[in-house]
């Protein structure tokens, strides 16, 4: 049952100072996971990534550094 619940999930992970990825929260859609990761990266200036839970495949990486214009 647990594996089935994760099959349609996208999880966000934060890169800690030791270089390891720490899972924070999962969402049913890639869009919600991306928006949450982007919001957190902007607020904390840390790097986040979205991972497809079933395939353990990185969908996107969001850098926390402020944008330069």
Per-domain residue ranges of the chain: 2-62
CA distance 36 to 49: 10
The kind and range of the H/E element at 38 are helix 30-44
What the block records as the tokens of 16 is 């800690």
Residue-wise pLDDT tens digits, 8-66: 799 999 999 999 999 999 999 999 999 999 999 999 999 999 999 999 999 999 998 76
Q: Does the pLDDT value for residue 68 go beyond 50?
A: no
SS3 content of the chain, % helix, strand, coil (to 5): 30, 35, 35
Q: Which pTM was predicted? A: 0.80
Residue-wise pLDDT tens digits, 13-26: 999 999 999 999 99
> Between 67 and 30, where is the model more confident?
30
Burial 36-54 (b: 16+ CB within 10 A, else e): bbbebbbeeebbbbbbbbe
């Amino acid at each position: 049952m647990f594996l089935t619940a994760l099959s349609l999930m996208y999880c966000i992970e934060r890169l800690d100072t030791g270089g390891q990825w720490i899972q924070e929260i999962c969402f049913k859609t890639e869009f919600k996971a991306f928006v949450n990761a982007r919001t957190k990266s902007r607020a904390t200036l840390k790097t986040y990534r979205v991972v497809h839970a079933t395939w353990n495949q990185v969908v996107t990486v969001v850098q926390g550094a402020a944008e330069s214009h």
